Structure 1
Amino acid sequence: MKADYLNASKRISGASGAWLMHGDEPLLAQSLLDQCRKHWREQNIERQRVDLTSSADWREALGQLDNLSLFSSTMALEIHGNHKPDAAGMAALERFIQSPGDNILIINMPKQDHTAQKTKFFQLLDANGLVVSLALQNDRERQDFLATQAKTLKVELTPEAWKMLISQTENNLLAAHQALIRLSFLSEPDEQIDIEKLLPALSDQSRYSLFDLSDAALLGDIERTVKILNYLFESGEAESLILWTISKEMRLILQLLDNPNPNYQSLGIWFNRQSLYQKAMRRIKRTQTTGWLELLLRCDQSIKGVGLEKPKDLLLQASLALTGLQLFDTKISTLQTI
């Protein structure tokens, strides 16, 4: 069964079995996952997350559903990545779908094109679970979604300001969300924002974005990467979104390094960006990436307030690792060129 973002958000309280979320809008994926996690916490449902590095990881990932703690009777398992399961993984997935019990499986992937939607994997989930397209269909849906984000940030726009925000960001949810974050710093809580007050936030939009951070890091431009990262910190960009951006690029590089003849399009890398990844692959060797996943986990934990490490220090470390510069300590003074 297929559903869009809005329809899926209404089904969270009754979610069961397997869900496949796919799309190119990280904000929608994060929003839907946040809603799911909130519901699971309220219901005392245990949550586990697995990040795929290869097709062979599926069987072990699904095995997590059999490892409930003594205090849990239900598990919500998140699987993130762009690897379809191998034969053993498909068999494990079919077994789960046939008998999920009270457990919940959420699979989060990049957008699946028409070819990918014809695979046995996709068809199995479409026939027996819920396939969620992470996309909004029109300006009304985009504004409704952003209005929810604005309410959380205590930002209130006039109708005219909303029209300008949607128009100037050209349906780019991430850009619009960045503008709302800036407005939360430029205005008083629940102050009515008209077009005149909106303009400074939109003018900042023309400077640096998360996409600029990705490009600079992939190109190995250390100075520009640090400059953009500092700008994002200062402008109030959500640390979770910065982590999502860095994590996405790191995981793509890991997949490309494991495959000498990659199918870029199947990984969601279009022709005009392939040269960026090719340059990164020539610069970064597989042995230099052994600590990447652990570093991403530390970033995630620090953003959630777990441990004593500072999120900005770790995000700087991860960003520079992507350029080819390794920070072996959270202290910026300890540098070594890879």
Structure 2
Amino acid sequence: MRLTQAQLEPHLKQGLQPIYVLVGDEPLAQRECLDAIRVAATTQGFDERTSLIVERSFNWQQVQNFGQSISLFSSRRLLELNIPNGKPGVEGAKALQALATKTLPDTSVIIILPTLERDAKNSAWFSTLESHTQVITLSEVDATNLPKWIANRLAQQGQHTSIQTLEFLAHQVEGNLLAANQEVQKLSLLYPQGELSDEVVREAVLNVSRYDPFQLGEAVLAGDAERTVRILQGLQDEGETAVAVMNPLMWVLRPLVRIKQAEMRGANLTAAMTNARIYGDKQALVKRALTRLSLRQLDAALQKLVDIDKMAKGVMLGDAWLEISRLCFGLAKVRSR
């Protein structure tokens, strides 16, 4: 069964289903869907949550072992299974099909997938998931609909503004829903409910910190190692968290992988960038990055961000900020081939 993000919350009130599959690269939608399921799980007595990240050396027997184990602390459990590259492999495909057709007792499972390539979409394992689970596609919002999306978010917090101001906000965030959501939340903290004038919105949006994580992504793409180091230090000095820096980096690198794959297939580069929602001046920035960075380097960078996420959450040993710094500096200093 397919659900939209809007349908998820009322669906959850009817009780958690055995398996949910989140598919897509949109980070805000993924975070909000995960949060909604987690809150519903806690409310409905799922007191234990386990996260597994599928990497090259992942042992799929862990999933079966989890189902057979008995929790000492909770009778109902939530299992999150994150497959960052969307490729479970032969053993993983079998395990996912078995999981979909014979669910784990007293367990609700969330399977997290990126935007899938055509082969994965047409695979037997994904077809089985589509037939037996609740699939939520994490859709991006195109530039035309972004002002309306921002208006709806403002309305949820009792605020509204003019069409012109909504278009200004949409232009400022350049299609990035994480950034758009941050700006909307900032307006709720700064101003009471009611109408927001163009002047107060512009003042709030343009009065930002000297450094922000999106500037870091641009410096990395541009291959400006000196600016990359300066922004990293500034973000740390301003007290930014590793997770807040990592998410925009993921948002920058994921489309780059898709564009690089399209380029290697011989597809039109401009069309590939448009499909990845890269517009205007950013296209020149991305083109320069593509001449410097190989697909192998980009894939490795995304995998490293998965590890950094685990460090930031205390699941893996390591200094998340140090690893972010090493990753960004390493990508920025790669020279054109």
TM-score, normalization: structure 1?
0.68
CA deviations on 1:37-89 (whole Å, 9 max, x unpaired) are 222223233211122223x6261452334445212222222122123222222
Q: Paired residues, what number?
A: 303
Contact 1:247 1:296 in 2 (8 A): no
One-letter amino acid matched to 1:16: Q
RMSD after superposition: 4.7
In structure 1, stretches of 5+ residues that fail to align are 257-262, 326-338
Correspondence for 1:203 among 201, 206, 219: 206
Matched, 1:103 2:100: no
Q: CA deviation at 1:207?
A: 8.5
Cα pair distance change 1:207/1:5, threshold 3 Å: farther
Tell me, in whole angstroms, the C-alpha distance in 2 between the residues paired with 1:162 and 1:180: 11
| Match in the other structure for 2:7 | 7
Unaligned runs of 5+ in 2: 264-268, 274-282, 331-337
Distance 1:226 1:159, change over 3 A: same
1:84 to 84, 87, 93: 87
1:335 is aligned to: none
Deviation at 1:116, TM superposition (A): 3.3
Match of 2:312 in 1: 299
The separation in 1 between residues aligned to 2:246 and 2:234, in whole angstroms, is 15
Cα distance in 2 between the residues matched to 1:229 and 1:189? 34
User: Does structure 1 conserve the Cα–Cα contact (< 8 Å) formed by 2:254 and 2:302?
Assistant: no
Q: Is residue 53–residue 83 contact of structure 1 (8 Å, CA) maintained in 2?
A: no
Decide whether the 8 Å contact of 1:77 with 1:105 is kept in 2: yes
Q: Please list, as runs of the form range in 1=range in 2, the aligned pairs for 1:156-167 lying within 5 A after superposition.
A: 156-160=159-163, 161-162=165-166, 164-166=168-170
**C-alpha distance 189-121 of structure 1, shift in aligned 2 (>3 A):** same
TM-aligned CA deviation for residue 130 of structure 1:
1.9
Question: For 1:268-279, what aligned pairs fall within 5 Å after superposition?
Answer: 273=286, 276=289, 279=292
Indicate conservation of the 8 Å contact 2:60/2:91, yes or no: yes
2:335 maps to none
- 1:44 alignment counterpart: 46
Note if contact 1:58-1:85 (Cα within 8 Å) is conserved in structure 2. Answer: no
Matches within 5 A, 1:17-36: 17-36=18-37
Does the 8 A contact of 1:222 with 1:320 survive in 2?
Answer: no
- Mapped contact 2:250–2:302 kept (Cα < 8 A): no
CA contact (8 A) 1:22 1:108 kept: yes
Task: Show the counterpart of 1:264.
Answer: 261
TM-score (norm 2): 0.68
- Alignment check: 8 A CA contact 1:75 1:104 kept: yes
Task: Among all aligned residue pairs of Structure 1 and Structure 2, give the percentage whose two residues are the same amino acid.
Answer: 24
- SS of residue matched to 1:264: helix
Please, which of 77, 88, 91 is the counterpart of residue 75 of structure 1? 77
* Separation in 2, partners of 1:191, 1:236: 32
